[in-house]
Amino acid sequence: MIRVVVADDQDLVRIGLRALVESEDDLTLVGEAADGLQAVELARQVRPDVVLMDVRMPGIDGIEATRRIVADPELTGTRVIVLTTFELDEYVFDALRHGASGFLTKDTRPAELLRAVRLVAEGEALLSPSVTRRVVREFATRPARVPRPHPRLDTLTEREREVVGLVGEGLSNAEIADRLVVSPATARTHVSRAMGKLGARDRAQLVVFAYQSGLVAG
């Protein structure tokens, strides 16, 4: 059973998400929060598998709430999906940088949202290659982009650095395999090893590390 928390300051949104979650046999709603602080405290109390987190909330916003949840050693199994009004919301990259496993727009179809919850609960990142490319392109073109290399970047082999850069460009494992002329299994292994060395929670965080370390071309 996948345990879900919904955090949104709009009653109607919470009601809708609650009804959607409770309509599924493999999902259960374990709590609701109307602001960021409530979301953090609730997550600590019930330790959900997935938090559906609105960005704009009173108190602390969804970005700070996400950061606190991800930083809590007691919540290593909790994943956060950020809900935004616009696909390239100004906060999206900040959400990913602070540990969100992905994001959805609020007009996402119910079936897609349910699929996303299940995907993230399994430890996957909710970032399709096309969306990743758009996010990286948006933020890579902003001024004053100063690379901040990951402290363990030197532990990567040259091939692993190359693979991380390709993940940052939004390539899937199959596309990385084609680009490097290796098998998909080999590409998957390189990605997994890089994630382990860099301490990335999921693929979304690997994208952020690639961007921050200057491995993604601007």
Residue 132 lies in a domain: no
- Who wins on pLDDT, 52 or 83? 52
How high is the pLDDT of residue 100?
Answer: 86
pLDDT at 19 over 60: yes
- Give the pLDDT mean for 176-196: 93
Residue 137 lies in a domain: no
**Whether residues 51 and 98 fall in one domain:** yes
Residue 113 lies in a domain: yes
Q: Which residue range is the domain that position 98 belongs to? A: 2-126
Tokens of 78: 């909790």
Residue 15: give its domain's CATH number.
3.40.50.2300
**Whether residues 13 and 119 fall in one domain:** yes
CA 139 – CA 102 distance, rounded (Å): 16
Tokens of 2: 């996948």
CA 74 – CA 132 distance, rounded (Å): 29
Q: What average pLDDT does the chain have?
A: 85
Number of alpha carbons in the 13 Å side-chain half-sphere of residue 105: 10
First-to-final CA distance of the chain: 42
Summarised one tens digit per residue, pLDDT across range 58-67 is 889 999 999 9
Sheet holding 102-105, edge to edge: 27-33, 2-7, 50-54, 79-84, 102-105
Q: How many CB atoms lie within 10 A of CB 56?
A: 16
Q: Where does residue 82 rank: exposed (0-12), middle (13-18), buried (19+ CB within 10 A)? A: buried
Summarised one tens digit per residue, pLDDT across range 202-212 is 787 888 888 88
Tokens of 168: 């940052």
- The residue among 126, 157, 185 that closes a domain is 126
pLDDT at 138 over 70: no
Residue 134 lies in a domain: no
